[in-house]
Structure 1
């Protein structure tokens, strides 16, 4: 799982970024103490850093230069400063991208993926395996033992999200939000229909209880 460090002093934005990226399957590492950030980066070894410009006691420009000396992880500036000179300075100091607030969520997620891909980080796995079940993302199929079933786009995203959060209870609201953020139209009724179809296909592979319903809480693998 790729690790993304979030260096943002606004708690609301920091929490939102952590939620959005967590829903996409990334491991998030929000920074809440802004002293010794380069040392925190060195110890954590993130695959990507989201960095604000306006931080307590210092600016993100100088911090970017220090981080660059601490590790080689790509840096995306996420800031409310929309001036061309700020963007030019940020990129000249080693930033890999520059996103202004308020950001468009799908665009931000797409640019995160693009920077990770350019940086040569480990690619997202093509196959997820949990509890004897294999989900083949590129093929759009799921298999167990010698059996294979084809999944729809919605079914793939639902199963992938649950497998990436295996062992945890995933609320229905989190699934709906994750699919919305992936630009897949889904509401509560659509989720129920897709879950029923997905479970039927898993049942055909001999795994009728693979996705458990935790009443009043959500779903769990």
Structure 2
């Protein structure tokens, strides 16, 4: 339908009704549509048509060169304004079809329920996967220097005594005799321990308990593995 003769009272009332919930003729910024309608008016609308008057005063605050730079392409006045006739009917028909396709009840709840179910399934799958994954066990390799009392100490008995220490998380490794001084040799022996189960204090106390053979124990090396 579009705007008719907006120089008349009826035409200006139509413009007023059209602008009741709009700031501009088209869109959310001033455009060439506003220029066409503004230039079609012979003057300010009457005070009782306050929506149209508000818009007219707003347009009047701009200078003409500035208005010419607004976006859009000028079209005939009848192309602007309220829709009518076949075009409006078609638009209404499209709107009705869109409404038919929209589920106004329960759609959000269904989406939320589906999302929550998917979240729970993923959490359950992650928990199951994590439970099957073996926990990482922190281990260390320790090399101990076991020193005898003198050169008459039986080093085979020393090693036998050390290896007799058995506990969960302790595995003895290779060993060798290393010369100290005056014919005395020390036993250098390696082991692998689980850090949460076996510490150096336990090893030192257990080995020095063989006081007939062992004078002292030193940690020669300590490496995480």
Find the structure with the greater CA-based Rg.
2
TM-score normalised by L of structure 2 = 0.23
Q: Give me the TM-score of the superposition, normalised by structure 1.
A: 0.23
